[in-house]
Amino acid sequence: MGARDPRVDDYIGQAAEFARPILEYVRERAHWACPECSEALKWGMPSFLYRGKILCSTAAFRQHASVALWRAGPATGAGAAKREGMGQFGRLTSVRDLPGKREFATLLRQAMARVDAGVPGRPKSARAPLTVPADLASALAGNAQARMHFDAFPPSARRDYVEWIIEARQSATRQRRLAQSVEWLAQGKRRHWKYERAPGS
């Protein structure tokens, strides 16, 4: 059995109750199909690696979860017809939305074979240019340290904050997220800093 990362345990433990069985299912299926796989947090999401290459990653959101297969063939099964959301299976709300044990293992083993053959991972999809919302720009303008760190972050780290803020459905939630973002940014922290491995660890 491959090495397990305690940060993945933390991520699962902090996920919404409906999402935990989905995250655990993906984790167990990844280790079952690929006993030598290792775990990591990539872009703040639990990811399962084979020979240093990502086979799949999973994430939990407020009302759904997702699974992305990086090098596998086309997905089928209960969730394959869903096109909204990240990953091949769309917005997941139950383990039933995922393929069964054998099919999931087949997809992961296809991915492993492609790693062995040197096939690159999925191409990066085109993303809209990053647009900082006006309320975040205003909040950053009022805190020089936060603005300095935000501007110094790579686009992916800035996008994490922007998406977190614009996904808020209620004004009060958005205001809390803005305040939290400025606080973390002033300390030089990324959005998913809790899951990042400390230097030297």
14-23 average pLDDT score: 94
Burial class (CB in 10 A: 0-12, 13-18, 19+), 198: exposed
pLDDT greater at residue 186 or residue 198: 186
pTM value is 0.59
How far apart CA 70 and CA 123 sit, in angstroms, is 9
Highest averaged pLDDT of the listed ranges 13-22, 67-76, 77-86, 157-166: 13-22
- Domain at 6-116, CATH class: alpha beta
Percent of the chain clearing pLDDT 90 (strictly above): 42
Question: What are 129-180's pLDDT values in tens digits?
Answer: 678 889 999 999 999 999 999 999 988 888 889 988 888 888 899 999 999 9
pLDDT score at 11: 92
Both tokens of 173, joined, read 């939630």
Task: Write the single-letter amino acid at 116.
Answer: D
Question: What are 83-106's pLDDT values in tens digits?
Answer: 445 677 888 999 999 988 899 899
pLDDT at 73 over 90: no
Both tokens of 164, joined, read 């977190």
For residue 89, the SS3 value is: coil
Question: What are 45-58's pLDDT values in tens digits?
Answer: 899 999 988 889 99
pLDDT greater at residue 29 or residue 80: 29
Q: How many contiguous H segments (helices) and E segments (strands) does the chain have?
A: 7, 4
Query: Torsions phi, psi of 91, nearest 5?
Result: -80, 115
Assign 76 a pLDDT band (cuts: 50, 70, 90).
Answer: very low
Q: Helix 144-152 crosses helix 134-141 at what angle (to 10 degrees)?
A: 120
Each domain of the chain, given as residue ranges in start order, spans 6-116, 134-195
pLDDT score at 149: 94
pLDDT score at 127: 52
pLDDT greater at residue 118 or residue 195: 118
Could you tell me how many residues make up the chain?
201
pLDDT at 183 over 90: yes
Query: Torsions phi, psi of 38, nearest 5?
Result: -115, 165
pLDDT score at 17: 94
Q: Residue 153, Cβ neighbours under 10 Å: how many? A: 16
Which residue carries 């997941």 as its tokens? 92
